[in-house]
Amino acid sequence: MKRYFLMLCALLIFGACSMSDSEMHEELLAGKDTAKPGEEPQVIEKPQNIGEQKDSGQEQPIKEPEDREEPQSIGEPQEQPVKEPQVIGELGNNNKPDDGEKPQQDGQMKPEEEPESGGEQPNTLPLIFLGGGSIAEEQIVFAFSKPVTIKNISFEPDLQTASIANGSMVKVTFKERYPGMLVTARMIAEDINKNEINVQTTIRLRNSRTPQLVINELCVEMSTDSTGTRAEYIEFKMKTDGNLGGLQVYITTNSTKPKQTIYELPSVEVKKDDYVVLHLRAYDSESRNEYGSNLAESGGRNSSPAARDLWVFDTEKLINKTSIVYIADQDGVILDAVMLSVKGSPVWPNDYMTKAAAFLLEQGVWNGNPIDSEKTTNTRTVCRYETLQRNSKSFADWYIAGTNGFSPGGANK
C-alpha cells in the first residue's frame, strides 16, 4: 500500500513539473518575447529542462509549483515532445531586446553588421531625378537620388557627346562648345537594382563669352498702313565680340495685361559693332529668327539685311511710352538699362514699376529721372547718342529721333 502511495506522489510531481515547462514554452511561442517585425532571425540555444542549471552540472532542488492544476490522468507519463525553437529572445530573459538592438550570442557578430568586404551596400532610396544644370559650355550634369547608369540618351538639337560619367551625379561632356545653347535631353537611367527612370529636361548651357553691349534704340509704338504693320522693337549694339546665348531681356510696362516680359536670347555669335534687333511682335509670315550667318534671311516690316533680326512671335503689346527695360546675363548681372515715362516723370503709375525703378537705381545701372517719351511715335524712336564716348546711364545719353528717323538695324539718325 505504501509503495502505491509513493508511486502516486511521484506521478503527481512529474506531471506538474512537465506542465509548467510546457506552459512556459507555449507562452514564449505566443509572442511574449518574440523578435519585432523587421528584425533579423537569430538562432537560440535549445531550451533547458526545468530543474537544470545552465553552465552548471549541479542539480537544483525541484520546487513544487504553486497553484498547479490537478492532472486529468494518472496513467503512464507521456514524454513531452521538444518543439523547434522559434525566433525569440534569449531563453529565460523576459525582457524584450532594446529597440534597434538585436540579441546576440557571445562572440557572434550582430546580424545587421556585414563583414568588411569593401563591396557596395544596397541603396534603398527610390530612384528620383533631382534636376540638371550646366557647368561649362560643353558640359551638363544630371542629379539622381542614387547612382545610375545611363542606358540611352539623346539631345535636341543633335549634339555629339565625348563622354558620359555615370553615378548619382551624371556628367555629360560634348565634343564641342555650345555657349548659351538651349538643349533638351531625353534619357533612360538605371540603378544597381535594375530600376529604370525616363527623364526629359531642358537645360541652358553656360555662356562664358557674354559680349559687352548697350540698348541703342527703342520703338514703343506700332503703326499700320497699306503696306502692313510696323511693330515695336528694341535694338542692341555690340561693344565686343561674344555670344548672346542665355541673355535675358526684361520689359516692365504700365499695362493691363503683361506686367513684365522676359525674353531669352538664343545662342548666336556676334561681333563688335553688330546690331541686333528684337522685334516685339510678328505679323508677317516672312518673319524669321536669324541664327546663322545669313542676316538677310528674315523678311517682314522693320527687318534689316545688315543686322540680326529676332522675333517675339505674338501679337500682344509688350512695351509703351512708360516702360522700364534692361538686359542681364545668366547670373543676373545687368548689362544695360533704360527708363521711359511721359514727360520724364519719376513717379511711376504702379507699385511693380516703382520697385523695378528702385532696383535699377540701387544697382547703379540707371541714374536720375526717366527719358521723356511723350513725343515718340512709330517712326520717331528713342535713340542713344552713338558718338558719345561715355555712358552716363541717364536720360542725358538719349534723344527722340525726328520724323521718319527710325533706323532698326542701323546707325541712329
Q: Is the dihedral of CA 206, 210, 215, 219 positive or negative?
A: negative
Domain 129-204 fold: Immunoglobulin-like (2.60.40)
**Where does 205-333 show beta strands of DSSP type E?**
213-219, 223-225, 228-230, 233-238, 242-243, 248-253, 260-264, 269-270, 275-279, 308-311, 323-328
Among 2.60.40.1260, 3.90.180.10, 3.60.110.10, 1.10.1040.50, name the CATH number for the domain at 213-400.
2.60.40.1260
**Secondary-structure percent of the chain, ordered helix, strand, coil, rounded to 5:** 10, 30, 60
Q: How many residues does the chain have?
A: 413
Instruction: Collapse the DSSP code of 109 into the 3-class scheme (helix H, G, I; strand E, B; otherwise coil) and give the result.
Output: coil
Distance separating alpha carbons of residues 287 and 311, to the nearest angstrom: 7
Question: How high is the pLDDT of residue 398?
Answer: 98
The pLDDT tens digits of the residues spanning 127-141 come to 999 999 999 999 999
At residue 140, what are phi and psi to the nearest 5 degrees?
Answer: -130, 155
Question: How high is the pLDDT of residue 120?
Answer: 53
- Look up residue 284 and give its three cell numbers: 508677317
Question: How high is the pLDDT of residue 121?
Answer: 56
Instruction: Collapse the DSSP code of 188 into the 3-class scheme (helix H, G, I; strand E, B; otherwise coil) and give the result.
Output: strand
Query: Do the beta carbons of residue 316 and residue 281 sit within 8 Å?
Result: yes
Q: Which of left, alpha, beta for 31 (phi over 0: left; psi -120 to 50: alpha)?
A: left
The pLDDT tens digits of the residues spanning 367-401 come to 999 999 999 999 999 999 999 988 999 999 999 99
Distance separating alpha carbons of residues 173 and 175, to the nearest angstrom: 7
129-204 and 213-400 agree in CATH topology = yes
Helix (H) or strand (E) holding 65: none
- Please state the domain extents for the chain: 129-204, 213-400
Question: How high is the pLDDT of residue 123?
Answer: 61
* pLDDT of 149 strictly over 50: yes
Distance separating alpha carbons of residues 179 and 305, to the nearest angstrom: 25
Query: Do the beta carbons of residue 312 and residue 282 sit within 8 Å?
Result: yes
CA distances, 224 to each of 26, 110, 228, 378 (Å):
97, 85, 6, 10
CA distances, 395 to each of 173, 233, 310, 384 (Å):
46, 19, 26, 9
The pLDDT tens digits of the residues spanning 336-354 come to 999 999 999 999 999 999 9
State pTM to two decimals: 0.68
Task: Give the model's confidence band at 119: pLDDT under 50 very low, under 70 low, under 90 confident, else very high.
Answer: low
Distance separating alpha carbons of residues 79 and 70, to the nearest angstrom: 18
Task: Give the model's confidence band at 186: pLDDT under 50 very low, under 70 low, under 90 confident, else very high.
Answer: very high
Question: How high is the pLDDT of residue 256?
Answer: 72
The residue ranking higher by pLDDT, 98 or 248, is 248
